[in-house]
Amino acid sequence: FCLAGIVLLDNPYLILWMATAICFINLSQELHKWSHMSSSQVSAWINFLQELNIIVSRKSHLAHHRPPFEGNYCIVSGHCNPFLDNTGFFRGLESIVFSITGNMPR
């Protein structure tokens, strides 16, 4: 979708925005992937950034995959998790999805 938009659009600002969005989307997925890998599977500098909590750490993110599965959804740095969890932000989104689709959260 984004790549097709870049090719078909003639607005340089929109093209730049879409290219930047693609880069950050890809980066966020890499950060998420690294949070699932053991420290021996990633570069030392990734471990360093995780230890400093600059990017999401394994411990922080993997809490999201343990019961009761109610928090720690942020996959880039995890810095927003306390606020979003305490305000019920994701519970609210799940309620909206349920009201529209009838699908219960897992």
Tell me how far the alpha carbon of residue 98 is from its chain's centroid.
Answer: 21
The model's pLDDT over 80-96, given as tens digits with 9 standing for 90+, comes to: 999 999 999 999 999 99
pLDDT of residue 16: 87
The model's pLDDT over 7-27, given as tens digits with 9 standing for 90+, comes to: 667 788 888 888 899 899 999
- Tell the burial category of 5 from Cβ atoms under 10 Å away from its Cβ (0-12, 13-18, 19+): middle
pTM: 0.75
SS3 content of the chain, % helix, strand, coil (to 5): 65, 0, 35
User: Distance between CA 71 and CA 43 in Å, rounded?
Assistant: 27
Give the residue-averaged pLDDT of 63-79. 88
pLDDT of residue 55: 94
Domain boundary assignment for the chain = 2-101
pLDDT higher than 90, residue 69: no
| Cβ atoms of residues 48 and 23 within 8 Å | no
